[in-house]
Amino acid sequence: MKKNESTFTNVMKIFFSGIKIYILNFNKFIKYMAFPVLGQITGIAIIFTAAYFFTLKVGTITRISPLFDNILFVFLLLLVITLPGFFIFCKAFWDYLISVLALNSMASNIIEGGTLDDISIHVDMARRRSFQYVLLLLLLSIIYIIGSFPLFWVLLAIAAIYLSLTFQVFALEEDATPIDAISMSVSFVKYNFPKTLLLLVLLLVSTYWVIPGIISWGFEAGNLAGFLSYPAEQFIKLLPIDGINLTLSQHHIPFKLESYELAKSAVLFVVGTAVCGFTLPLRSICCTILYKQIYAQNYAGKIAIEQTEEMTEKSSRKHL
């Protein structure tokens, strides 16, 4: 960042640099993120499809054999039927978590003039640190769970900003422990809070609202949402919608649930979630650029000053 350059200008440069890198490597990022994103959706779809057909046939099966009168047996059978979808979901979810780490290494390599000819190198680097990575995720989960209480929401939002570079630190500093990654992220952001906040807001608005909104609008305009709503509606019809509507009517609440509208909303939610997943590389690239910029221009120098001051204080105490 140039001395006379405003924070807004600098953040916009980071954002558009990230977009440029993302677009130039779009096909590779999409291919890499396909299973982590679509695999989760596929796994959930298999689970619900298996549960739907099992629910339709369980009455007939029960009449065939008295064995199916046992609720525990029927429940265990349902678990077995849904296991394939569950395994696919878990594998895709884990791959997505790995991508959260590996994408920072990929972004760093591109920023430094490299290419994405061999993505597996970055993925393997992330997987080799799986144990420490899980510890990091547990620590962050504890922090966010504690902050999820309504009284702590403001503190949680502030903490999320200070922790926003944790994955970049952990991915790019190979010797960093989970505690180191968290503390270093806090130190990084401490001197660059406005810049970090502005970039995060820009990324959240663009990748969680604008881009998903545009894609969802396209699905509605092309009637794809309506087409995909049919299978979702068949499952939703099994829910006690009429009972819920009756309760709402008895309480004079002017609202009525419609199975088609619920299915359509579910489809658009899935589409929006998938788009957010596929834009993860853009968020990782921008945060990696910010991380490298802070480290090079601000963090290293200020930490050196702090260390010098600490050494001076210790030296003064010894003389006293």
- Looking at the predicted structure, is the pLDDT value of residue 102 above 80? yes
Closest of 197, 294, 211, 286 to residue 18, by C-alpha: 286
Q: How large is the average pLDDT for residues 204-225? A: 92
Least confident of 80-94, 214-228, 272-286: 214-228
pLDDT at 302: 56
- Identify the pLDDT of residue 300: 54
pLDDT score for 75: 81
Whole-number Cα distances in Å, 264 to 13, 20, 227:
38, 33, 9
Q: Residue 25 — pLDDT band, cuts 50, 70, 90?
A: very high
Q: Is the pLDDT of residue 10 over 90?
A: yes
Domain edges within the chain: 7-125+197-306
The pLDDT confidence band at residue 95, using thresholds 50, 70 and 90, is: very high
3 state DSSP class of 280: helix
CA 80 to chain centre: 29
Mean per-residue pLDDT for 183-209? 95
Nearest partner of 128 among 90, 171, 168, judged by Cα = 171
pTM for this structure?
Answer: 0.87
- Regarding predicted confidence, which is higher, 311 or 258? 258
The encoded tokens of residue 15 equal: 């954002």
Give the integer Cα–Cα distance in Å for 239 and 243: 9
Q: What's the whole-number mean pLDDT along residues 51-56? A: 82
Mean pLDDT over the full length of the chain: 88
Query: 68, 252 in Cβ contact below 8 A?
Result: no
- For the cut 80, the answer to whether the pLDDT of residue 250 exceeds it is yes
- pLDDT band for position 52 (50/70/90)? confident
Indicate the pLDDT class of residue 3, thresholds 50, 70 and 90: low
- DSSP alpha helices (H): ranges in the chain? 7-24, 26-64, 71-111, 119-127, 130-147, 153-162, 166-172, 178-190, 193-205, 211-221, 224-236, 241-250, 259-278, 280-294, 300-319
Of 135, 142, 181, whose CA–CA distance to 162 is shortest?
Answer: 181
In this prediction, residue 313 has a pLDDT band, given cuts at 50, 70 and 90, of: low
